[in-house]
Amino acid sequence: MEQTLEKALRIYFIMGSQNCKQDPVSLLKEAAKAGITAFQFREKGKGALTGSPKLELGKKLREVCWEHQLLFIVNDDVELVDKLEADGLHVGQDDRSVQEVRDEFPEKIIGLSVSNSHEVDESPIELVDYLGAGPIFGTTTKPDAKKPVGIEWIQDLREQFPTIPLVGIGGIHVDNAASVMEAGANGVAVISAITDSVNVTHTVRQL
Protein backbone atom coordinates (compact mmCIF):
# COMPACT_ATOMS: atom_id res chain seq x y z
CA MET A 1 0.00 0.00 0.00
CA GLU A 2 1.71 3.15 -1.27
CA GLN A 3 -0.67 5.78 0.11
CA THR A 4 -1.02 6.90 3.73
CA LEU A 5 -3.54 5.23 5.99
CA GLU A 6 -5.40 8.55 6.36
CA LYS A 7 -6.02 8.61 2.61
CA ALA A 8 -6.83 4.90 2.41
CA LEU A 9 -9.59 5.30 5.01
CA ARG A 10 -11.40 8.08 3.15
CA ILE A 11 -14.35 6.00 1.91
CA TYR A 12 -14.33 2.91 4.11
CA PHE A 13 -17.01 0.45 3.04
CA ILE A 14 -18.01 -2.16 5.63
CA MET A 15 -20.20 -5.11 4.77
CA GLY A 16 -21.11 -8.77 5.11
CA SER A 17 -23.57 -10.92 3.22
CA GLN A 18 -26.24 -10.16 5.84
CA ASN A 19 -26.24 -6.50 4.71
CA CYS A 20 -26.70 -7.25 1.03
CA LYS A 21 -29.82 -7.49 -1.08
CA GLN A 22 -27.61 -8.58 -3.98
CA ASP A 23 -24.48 -10.69 -4.41
CA PRO A 24 -21.83 -9.24 -2.02
CA VAL A 25 -18.99 -9.87 -4.46
CA SER A 26 -20.73 -7.97 -7.30
CA LEU A 27 -21.63 -5.18 -4.90
CA LEU A 28 -18.03 -4.84 -3.72
CA LYS A 29 -16.80 -4.84 -7.31
CA GLU A 30 -19.17 -2.04 -8.19
CA ALA A 31 -18.22 -0.02 -5.10
CA ALA A 32 -14.51 -0.60 -5.81
CA LYS A 33 -14.84 0.60 -9.39
CA ALA A 34 -16.73 3.68 -8.16
CA GLY A 35 -13.97 4.71 -5.77
CA ILE A 36 -14.19 3.26 -2.25
CA THR A 37 -10.75 3.30 -0.66
CA ALA A 38 -10.94 0.54 1.98
CA PHE A 39 -13.11 -2.43 2.83
CA GLN A 40 -13.98 -4.21 6.08
CA PHE A 41 -15.33 -7.75 5.97
CA ARG A 42 -17.95 -7.73 8.74
CA GLU A 43 -19.85 -10.98 8.50
CA LYS A 44 -21.89 -10.60 11.66
CA GLY A 45 -25.46 -10.55 13.00
CA LYS A 46 -28.72 -12.09 11.85
CA GLY A 47 -28.26 -14.26 8.77
CA ALA A 48 -24.47 -14.00 8.73
CA LEU A 49 -22.39 -16.86 7.40
CA THR A 50 -20.11 -18.84 9.69
CA GLY A 51 -17.39 -21.47 9.21
CA SER A 52 -16.23 -22.36 5.72
CA PRO A 53 -18.92 -20.40 3.79
CA LYS A 54 -17.74 -17.31 5.69
CA LEU A 55 -14.12 -18.08 4.84
CA GLU A 56 -14.93 -18.68 1.18
CA LEU A 57 -16.85 -15.41 0.88
CA GLY A 58 -13.98 -13.62 2.63
CA LYS A 59 -11.54 -15.00 0.03
CA LYS A 60 -13.67 -13.74 -2.85
CA LEU A 61 -14.04 -10.28 -1.30
CA ARG A 62 -10.32 -10.16 -0.60
CA GLU A 63 -9.61 -10.91 -4.26
CA VAL A 64 -11.68 -7.90 -5.26
CA CYS A 65 -9.71 -5.73 -2.82
CA TRP A 66 -6.41 -7.01 -4.19
CA GLU A 67 -7.53 -6.33 -7.73
CA HIS A 68 -8.38 -2.71 -6.87
CA GLN A 69 -5.55 -2.07 -4.36
CA LEU A 70 -8.02 -1.56 -1.54
CA LEU A 71 -7.21 -2.13 2.11
CA PHE A 72 -8.82 -5.34 3.30
CA ILE A 73 -9.65 -5.32 7.02
CA VAL A 74 -11.38 -8.11 8.97
CA ASN A 75 -13.88 -7.26 11.69
CA ASP A 76 -13.63 -9.06 15.08
CA ASP A 77 -12.54 -12.47 13.77
CA VAL A 78 -8.90 -12.84 14.75
CA GLU A 79 -8.72 -16.33 13.24
CA LEU A 80 -9.50 -14.98 9.77
CA VAL A 81 -6.70 -12.43 9.64
CA ASP A 82 -3.98 -14.84 8.52
CA LYS A 83 -6.36 -17.17 6.68
CA LEU A 84 -7.48 -14.25 4.50
CA GLU A 85 -4.07 -12.53 4.42
CA ALA A 86 -5.86 -9.40 5.59
CA ASP A 87 -4.14 -6.05 5.90
CA GLY A 88 -5.58 -5.65 9.36
CA LEU A 89 -8.22 -6.20 12.00
CA HIS A 90 -10.89 -3.96 13.53
CA VAL A 91 -11.80 -4.54 17.18
CA GLY A 92 -14.30 -2.90 19.49
CA GLN A 93 -14.40 -2.48 23.23
CA ASP A 94 -15.98 -5.91 23.76
CA ASP A 95 -13.68 -7.80 21.40
CA ARG A 96 -10.18 -9.27 21.85
CA SER A 97 -7.99 -6.77 23.65
CA VAL A 98 -5.85 -4.37 21.66
CA GLN A 99 -2.74 -5.55 23.53
CA GLU A 100 -3.44 -9.18 22.56
CA VAL A 101 -4.07 -8.45 18.92
CA ARG A 102 -1.07 -6.14 18.68
CA ASP A 103 1.10 -8.92 20.20
CA GLU A 104 -0.30 -11.43 17.71
CA PHE A 105 -0.12 -9.09 14.70
CA PRO A 106 2.77 -6.68 15.18
CA GLU A 107 2.76 -5.63 11.52
CA LYS A 108 -0.97 -5.48 10.77
CA ILE A 109 -3.22 -2.44 10.76
CA ILE A 110 -5.33 -2.42 13.92
CA GLY A 111 -8.45 -0.27 14.24
CA LEU A 112 -10.31 0.34 17.48
CA SER A 113 -13.86 1.61 18.11
CA VAL A 114 -14.27 4.38 20.65
CA SER A 115 -17.61 5.87 21.65
CA ASN A 116 -16.77 8.03 24.67
CA SER A 117 -13.96 9.47 26.78
CA HIS A 118 -14.04 6.63 29.27
CA GLU A 119 -13.30 4.12 26.50
CA VAL A 120 -10.45 6.30 25.29
CA ASP A 121 -9.00 6.55 28.80
CA GLU A 122 -9.17 2.76 29.20
CA SER A 123 -7.66 1.95 25.77
CA PRO A 124 -4.00 1.74 24.72
CA ILE A 125 -4.47 4.19 21.85
CA GLU A 126 -0.72 4.18 21.15
CA LEU A 127 -1.02 0.54 19.99
CA VAL A 128 -3.66 1.14 17.33
CA ASP A 129 -3.31 2.53 13.81
CA TYR A 130 -6.69 4.21 13.52
CA LEU A 131 -9.87 4.95 15.48
CA GLY A 132 -13.47 4.27 14.46
CA ALA A 133 -15.62 6.89 16.21
CA GLY A 134 -19.33 6.49 16.65
CA PRO A 135 -22.09 5.87 16.21
CA ILE A 136 -22.10 9.45 15.01
CA PHE A 137 -25.74 9.42 13.88
CA GLY A 138 -28.63 7.03 14.48
CA THR A 139 -28.32 3.67 12.76
CA THR A 140 -30.52 0.61 12.41
CA THR A 141 -27.76 -1.49 10.84
CA LYS A 142 -26.20 -2.49 14.17
CA PRO A 143 -28.99 -3.40 16.63
CA ASP A 144 -26.64 -3.21 19.66
CA ALA A 145 -25.10 0.13 18.69
CA LYS A 146 -24.61 2.67 21.45
CA LYS A 147 -26.50 6.01 21.45
CA PRO A 148 -25.46 8.43 18.70
CA VAL A 149 -22.67 10.73 19.85
CA GLY A 150 -22.77 13.39 17.13
CA ILE A 151 -19.97 15.06 15.21
CA GLU A 152 -18.78 16.66 18.48
CA TRP A 153 -17.16 13.30 19.24
CA ILE A 154 -15.03 13.61 16.10
CA GLN A 155 -14.04 17.15 17.14
CA ASP A 156 -13.12 15.98 20.66
CA LEU A 157 -11.01 13.10 19.37
CA ARG A 158 -9.28 15.28 16.81
CA GLU A 159 -8.41 17.78 19.52
CA GLN A 160 -7.02 15.05 21.77
CA PHE A 161 -5.23 13.15 18.96
CA PRO A 162 -4.25 15.66 16.29
CA THR A 163 -2.58 13.16 13.99
CA ILE A 164 -4.24 9.74 14.45
CA PRO A 165 -6.17 8.41 11.44
CA LEU A 166 -9.83 8.76 12.38
CA VAL A 167 -13.06 7.62 10.73
CA GLY A 168 -16.64 8.34 11.72
CA ILE A 169 -19.18 5.53 11.62
CA GLY A 170 -22.92 5.11 12.15
CA GLY A 171 -25.76 6.61 10.13
CA ILE A 172 -23.41 8.29 7.67
CA HIS A 173 -24.94 8.93 4.27
CA VAL A 174 -24.39 11.22 1.31
CA ASP A 175 -26.20 14.13 2.99
CA ASN A 176 -24.17 14.18 6.24
CA ALA A 177 -20.76 12.75 5.26
CA ALA A 178 -19.27 16.21 4.69
CA SER A 179 -20.09 17.27 8.26
CA VAL A 180 -18.09 14.30 9.58
CA MET A 181 -15.07 15.24 7.46
CA GLU A 182 -15.37 18.92 8.41
CA ALA A 183 -15.34 17.91 12.09
CA GLY A 184 -11.88 16.43 11.60
CA ALA A 185 -12.32 12.85 10.37
CA ASN A 186 -10.04 11.43 7.70
CA GLY A 187 -12.83 9.27 6.38
CA VAL A 188 -16.34 7.91 6.62
CA ALA A 189 -17.13 4.27 7.37
CA VAL A 190 -20.45 3.23 5.90
CA ILE A 191 -22.64 0.17 5.52
CA SER A 192 -26.21 0.98 4.50
CA ALA A 193 -25.31 4.11 2.52
CA ILE A 194 -23.88 1.67 -0.03
CA THR A 195 -25.70 -1.63 0.61
CA ASP A 196 -29.13 0.08 0.39
CA SER A 197 -28.22 2.35 -2.49
CA VAL A 198 -30.17 2.02 -5.72
CA ASN A 199 -27.21 3.49 -7.61
CA VAL A 200 -23.98 2.38 -5.92
CA THR A 201 -21.68 4.16 -8.38
CA HIS A 202 -23.47 7.46 -7.90
CA THR A 203 -23.58 7.08 -4.09
CA VAL A 204 -19.86 6.29 -3.80
CA ARG A 205 -18.98 9.24 -6.00
CA GLN A 206 -21.16 11.54 -3.89
CA LEU A 207 -19.56 10.27 -0.70
Ligand X SMILES: Cc1ncc(COP(=O)(O)OP(=O)(O)O)c(N)n1
Residues labelled catalytic? 42, 113, 142
∠ CA(72), CA(46), CA(206), 5° rounding?
50
**Residue pair 62/84 in contact by the 8 Å Cβ criterion:** yes
The dihedral built from the CA positions of residue 144, 176, 122 and 104, taken in this order, carries a sign that is: positive
- 132 near ligand X (CB under 6 A): yes
Closest listed residue to residue 87, CA positions, set 12, 157, 158 = 12
Position 196 contacts Mg ion (CB under 5 A): no
Among 49, 92, 108, 174, which residue sits at the site for Mg ion (rule: CB under 5 A)? 92
Q: Which residues are annotated as a binding site?
A: 40-44, 75-76, 95, 113, 139-142, 171, 191-192
Based on the shown chain and the rule CB under 6 A, indicate whether residue 185 belongs to the binding site for ligand X.
Answer: no
Which position among 24, 58, 88, 134 is part of the footprint of ligand TZP (CB under 6 A)? 134
- Pick the closer one to Mg ion by CB: 76 or 156: 76
Instruction: Find residue 40's DSSP bridge partners.
Output: 14, 73
State the nearest-atom distance from the C-beta of 96 to ligand TZP, in Å.
17
DSSP per residue over 78-98, as a string?
HHHHHHTT-SEEEE-TTSS-H
169 touches ligand X (CB under 6 A) = yes
| From the list Mg ion, ligand X, ligand TZP, none, partner contacted by residue 77 (C-beta under 5 to 8 A by kind) | none
**Crossing angle (nearest 10°) for helices 51-67 and 24-34:** 20
Which parts of this chain interact with ligand TZP (CB under 6 A)?
Answer: 134-135, 139, 141-142, 145, 169-172, 190-193
Which parts of this chain interact with Mg ion (CB under 5 A)?
Answer: 76, 92, 95
